[in-house]
Amino acid sequence: MGVYWLKMKRITIIAAFAVIVLSGCGRSDSTTTKADTKVSEQKLDKSSWLPKTSKHDAEVAQIPKNTQILFFIPKDEPLDAESVGYGMKIDPYFNMTPIDKKSYIVKGGALVSKLGPIEKKAKWGDWDFVYEDASHTKKAGWGECLTSGEILLPRNWCEEAPPTNFIVQNSFEIESFGDDYVLIHLDPTKGHRLCFIRSGVSQAPTAGYIGSKAEVDGKTLERKADGWYSISKTSRSFWAEVLKMAEQRK
């Protein structure tokens, strides 16, 4: 089921990105401490959450002006996924949702992001539920996840206000790619993942949704409703938590 659907809907997946609105960033700084977790958090503004770098200047210089970013699933690497048994439920609008984590399997496939002559590829490797609450008890949606490789996204998709009724379990490394884009790295050894939430026949990336965790120059960030926050955990303890969360999904 999953393989056939995504082969047929490749153009729909591309079109979905043109209208996606992702997360936002606040403009004031503050520091708070949660006594129960002993985590110090500092709100970051648009100029400080993701510092611009000259690391990719050579690639960025190859991109023609007014170039639009494109996304496509390679013909030779379609998203390979399938439901297990009778593990999918169907709503009145014929949207299908897995009953639990064992009822749907993502076996492989790839997604390419293309910006002029520059292409980055990431691999599908899992899927996640999207939740309404931080305790991850009320399901609000679901979608396949990229778990390895790299993907380019418009920077503003990670800075605009996110939907407040969706909480994700994303984790990844991120850096600036010129002035207007970001490059996301997905390392499977760290349990990284980027969910593409399904909405009807389209899918949308959730990098800027509430709950996303990112590493920037060795620092750890978390996306909240009003912006990105720096959290005072070491990278080691932070990614240990991410790996623990990944184990709990199994």
137-163 pLDDT, tens digit each = 999 999 999 999 999 999 999 999 999
Q: Which residue has the higher pLDDT, 100 or 14?
A: 100
Could you tell me which of 170, 187, 90 has the C-alpha nearest to residue 130?
A: 170
pLDDT digits (tens, 9 = 90+) for 72-99: 999 999 999 999 887 888 888 778 899 9
Residue 19 above 50 pLDDT?
A: no
Residue 240 above 90 pLDDT?
A: no
Using alpha carbons, list the distances in angstroms from residue 125 to 109, 147, 169, 188.
8, 5, 15, 9
Amino acid symbol at 58: A
104, 127 Cβ separation under 8 angstroms: yes
Amino acid symbol at 226: D
Residue 212 above 60 pLDDT?
A: yes
Amino acid symbol at 135: S
Amino acid symbol at 80: D
Could you tell me which of 129, 17, 1 has the C-alpha nearest to residue 71?
A: 17
| pLDDT, position 32 | 43
Q: How far apart are the first and last CA of the chain?
A: 22
- Three-state secondary structure along the chain? CHHHHHHHCHHHHHHHHHHCCCCCCCCCCCEEEECCCCEEEEECCCCCCCCCCCCCHHHHCCCCCCCCCEEECCCCCCCEEEECCCCEEECCCCCEEECCHHHEEEEECEEEEEECCEEEEEEEEEEEEEECCCCCCCEEEEEEEEEEEEEEEEHHHHCCCCCCCCECCCEEEEEEECCCEEEEEECHHHCCEEEEEEECCEEEECCCCECCEEEECCEEEEEECCEEEEECCCHHHHHHHHHHHHHHHC
